Amino acid sequence: MDEVDKYIAKFPGATKEKLEQVRSIIKSEAPQLTEGLKWGNPAYSSETIMFILAGYKEHIGLHVTKTTIEALQDKLADFKTTGGSVKLPNNKPIPVELIREILRCRIKEYEKQGVLWK
């Protein structure tokens, strides 16, 4: 069991399930990224951090950059966002296509505009 597996395994029920779902989406959308822990949370990086996941009792956090969140603000209107993160409530289904769009937007802003982590 690797360090990200251990991180996810410590959460109960819905939080664990949502972390596993988003992890799977990230791995399918961005298989070129390296997975590991940064600041104690699952992180996906290349030359810079691209995404971080964080588990909480009521939600999971998908941390990207403020510019990614701003670029997709209209599509994120139904979610609570703070700075460079979006909260995905545990009591609602994971918005798979929206997550894919967030990931693609973050990758594009890095590759085309050189936007680094925070």
pLDDT tens-digit readout, 52-79: 999 999 999 999 999 999 999 999 999 9
pLDDT at 63: 97
Which pLDDT does position 117 carry in this prediction?
Answer: 82
pTM of the model: 0.93
The confidence score (pLDDT) of residue 50 equals 96
* 41: containing domain: 3-111
Which residues of the chain carry a pLDDT beneath 50? Answer: none
Provide the number of structural domains found in the chain: 1
pLDDT at residue 71 in the model: 95
User: Cα separation of 60 and 57, whole Å?
Assistant: 8
CB atoms within 10 A of CB 113: 9
CATH code of 39's domain: 3.90.1150.200
